[in-house]
Amino acid sequence: MLKVVIEEERCKGCALCVDACPAHLIALGSRFNCHGAIPAIIAECDQARCTSCAMCARMCPDAAISIYRELKALQDADSRQ
């Protein structure tokens, strides 16, 4: 399941999300997007390690990141409350 979705064509490659992720899951890629920026990427295998904390998305000046959380994780969190 994808917890972090980075909209490649909205990303300006500023790396503020890279700097914000406490688990160091995001990096800048290696190819340019249509606007000449090098967009941020997250490897498929790192999606599982993501806690859906949304720190990356909060720092993004371009609202290029959406965050999803597993419903099971949400239910567990609810039942703990």
Partner 1 sequence: MVARKVFARPVSLKDVATHFCPGCQHGVVHRLVAETLDHFNAAGRTIGVASVGCSVFLYDYFDINVVEAPHGRAPAVATGVKRVHKNSLVFTYQGDGDLAAIGTSEIIHAANRGEGLTVIFVNNTTYGMTGGQMAPTTLPGQRTTTSSAGRNTASDGHPIRMAELLATLDGTAYSARVAVDSPGHVLEAGKAIRRAFGYQVEGRGFAFVEVLTTCPTNWGMDPVAANRRIAAEVIPFFPLGTFVDRSGDER
Smallest separation, CB 34 to ligand SF4 (Å): 14
Query: Which residue's structure tokens are 């720092």?
Result: 59
Please, what is the Cα angle at 17 between 3 and 29, to 5 degrees?
A: 85
Task: Examine residue 16 and tell whether it contacts partner 1 (CB under 8 A).
Answer: yes
**DSSP assignment letter at 40:** E
Q: Indicate which single residue of 13, 30, 34, 79 sits in contact with ligand SF4 (rule: CB under 6 A).
A: 13
**35 touches 9 (CB < 8 A):** yes
Task: Examine residue 19 and tell whether it contacts partner 1 (CB under 8 A).
Answer: yes
Which of ligand SF4, partner 1, none does residue 74 bind (CB under 5 to 8 Å by kind)? Answer: partner 1
